[in-house]
Amino acid sequence: MNESSAPLPSGPESTRVDRWLWAVRMTKTRSDAAQACRGGHVRVNDRPAKPATTVKAGDKVRVRLHGVTRMVDVSHVIVKRVGAQVAARCYVDNTPAPPPQATVPVIRRDRGAGRPTKRDRRLLDRVRNDLHQGPPPP
């Protein structure tokens, strides 16, 4: 029987948000989860959460960690840290996909080439203008 079809571990009806965040592997340590709560980076049902705020199945949790905001719905409450595949089944991730970032080619010069000459600078400006304006109309 593989982990994805294994039954979820039994748990209480509710638990502390810092303990749940650690158990479902959103933070590496429970103290990291508590610190995020104290720093105002965790919200439960759109209310700021302290580390001792309780979560139960059906709650919506918003966590900002490492510059990324994750929005999850609690589907199962656990208090002990479990494997990553089991932990992922304890919540529904509703985090929107990050917006696509425009990739602009970076103009590089040879290392040690020094400052660009007047001619080099004009060529670079011409290339930059072409990139920003797009191809000329036919």
| 81-119 tens-digit pLDDT | 989 999 999 999 999 888 887 776 677 778 888 888 999
Is the pLDDT assigned to residue 136 strictly greater than 70?
no
Residue 5 confidence class, pLDDT cut points 50, 70, 90: low
* Separation in Å, CA 48 to CA 13, 15, 38, 62, 137: 21, 16, 9, 9, 53
* Residue position matching structure tokens 């759109």: 46
Contact yes or no for 90/76 (Cβ under 8 A): yes
Residue 124 confidence class, pLDDT cut points 50, 70, 90: confident
pLDDT at 101: 74
List pLDDT tens digits, range 12-70: 889 999 999 999 999 999 999 999 999 999 999 999 999 999 999 999 999 999 889 99
pLDDT at 57: 92
The model carries a pTM of: 0.69
Q: Which residue has the higher pLDDT, 138 or 38?
A: 38
Residue 74 confidence class, pLDDT cut points 50, 70, 90: very high
Neighbouring CB atoms inside 10 A of 28's CB total 10
